[in-house]
Amino acid sequence: MEEKSPQTLKTGKISKLFWYYTLPSIFMLITQNIAYFVDSIFIGQYVGAEGLSALTLVMPFIIFLAGFAYMIAVGGITLAGIERGAGNTKESNNLFNVTTVLLVILGVLGGIFIHSFVPRLMRWIGTSETSVELITEYGQHMGVFVPFFLLSFALGAFIKLDERPYLAMLSMVLGPLVNIFLDYLLVAHYQLGMRGAAIATGLSQFITFVVCMVVIISKSTWNFEFPTFRFIQIKRIFYNGFSEFLTNITAALTGAIVNVMILQRLGESGVAAFAVSMQVTEFVRSIGYGIAEGNQALLSYNFGAKLYERVKETRNLAIKISFICGIVLTGLSVLFSGEIAQIFVTEQVVINHASEILMIFSLSFLFSGFNAFVATYYTSLNDPVRSGVITIYRTVIAPAFGLIVLPLIFGDTGLWLTFVFIEVSAFFIGLLFLKKYPLGYFRAKDLT
């Protein structure tokens, strides 16, 4: 059935368009995170804390690859949206094909990396032999599916840009639902451990890829053609998506550093407790990024069409909703931290520690949605400089300062306070930029 937008990106009422694009984006990201939650729950319950620790240790490497993929995908999608808004359909379609080919190449190389090199790196940093075995088991099976994992995000976003956000949502949520079923079948029923979790996740990404391909071929206006590669165009893609690259790469590095610090201070049970808190944090971030990414098409299209008042209205509504969500999620995390921890692990010492960590982490939820939106907002306006500055501070400068200084003052608690410090301090930088650069480098004096 053909999906019909209630109005076009250019002329529709902003409040309706906002929810029309935001709700499926949030639902899609939440569903994907629920699938990852379920992975963690099944691993924690049927493999144990060591399995959950192993999953947490390998995730920074997957995030590392996702950083490259998001740089290409977000850069390409944003530029394609701007070109569409300006009426340059042929150039927009070429950007679609250039983005797809670049991601195929990255996916093949990334799969080899996860399959062959991650276990060696884990052994090199001193991870226990049991964890290395679990990581090897997970990585060797997951590596086969990396190309589909990297491509599915971009294809779903291009479907959304084609003014079909609900088709994009349906394409992207089917895989995670299959993942949940396969987790039960392979991890719980057949007791395949980390191998079963990896196969479940990989097959779900493959299914998502296939469904997105079917939708693009049969329902969208995108056409697969051999692209015209131009250095200046690829440079623009990389340049515009650079902040997303930094977000994921530095998140991976920060995660790896924190994991090593926790291993040294608290052992693998500490890593498992940290993993529980990060699961909840990723769920919260999925809502923030759902609001941000859901409105990329709306922002970039209207910016390309020079409809700056519509850009401003979208921005203000997104910020308001981000704060409301942050307040609600912080309250729920504080009230039910212990109950949340019990979902993932059975060891009481890990549950207690995870609950304490989550109580501290939850304070960052007040500002994380706003910070995610501001960085994505400037990317949507083809201003990677402002987006990059926020991202570099949020993912490099603030974490480095927090991890060096705060543990010296607060001990182990300083590790968790670092995440609160990052979001609170980044919030003030975002406010400053929005006041001084309401439309990025295009400084319209009538929009303040």
- In tens, the pLDDT along 7-57 reads 577 778 888 888 888 888 787 777 767 766 777 778 878 887 778 777 777
Q: What is the mean pLDDT of residues 134-154?
A: 87
Residue 97 has pLDDT above 90, yes or no: yes
Residue 101 confidence (pLDDT): 94
Give the per-residue pLDDT at 103.
93
Closest CA to 240 of 72, 67, 426: 72
Rounded-to-integer distance, Cα 349 and Cα 372, Å = 33
Is 156 within 8 Å of 15 (Cβ atoms)?
no
Higher pLDDT, 29 or 141: 141
Q: Where are the alpha helices (DSSP H) in 220-306?
A: 231-240, 242-294, 296-304
Angle in degrees, 0-180, between the axes of helices 242-294 and 296-304, rounded to the nearest 10: 100
The rounded distance, in Å, linking the Cα atoms of 304 and 439 is 12
Question: For residue 215, how far is the Cα from the chain centroid?
Answer: 23
Cβ within 8 Å of residue 386, ≥6 positions away:
378, 433, 437, 440, 441
Extended strands (E) in 58-112: none
Nearest to 137 by CA among 114, 113, 111: 114
CB 282 within 8 A of CB 248: no
Cα 390–391–396 angle (5° rounding)?
110
Helix (H, G, I), strand (E, B) or coil at 438: coil
pLDDT over 70 percentage in the chain:
91
Structure tokens at 123: 């052994």
Which position has the token pair 């942050």?
Answer: 326
CA distance 319 to 62: 30
Running DSSP on this structure, what letter comes out for residue 362?
A: G
pLDDT tens profile 288-299: 888 887 788 888
> Does the pLDDT of residue 415 top 70, yes or no?
yes
Q: What percent of the chain has pLDDT over 90?
A: 19
Question: pLDDT averaged over the chain?
Answer: 82
- Give the pLDDT of residue 127: 67
Name the pLDDT band for 444 (thresholds 50, 70, 90).
very low
* C-alpha–C-alpha distance, residues 302 and 276, integer Å: 40
Q: Is 69 in contact with 249 (CB distance < 8 Å)?
A: no
Contacts of 331 (CB under 8 A, 6+ apart): none
SS3 136: helix
The DSSP code for 437 is -
Locate 432 and state its tokens.
Answer: 């400053």
Cα–Cα distance for residue pair 318/314, rounded to 1 Å: 6
pLDDT in tens, 215-264: 999 988 999 999 998 888 888 888 777 766 776 666 666 767 777 787 77
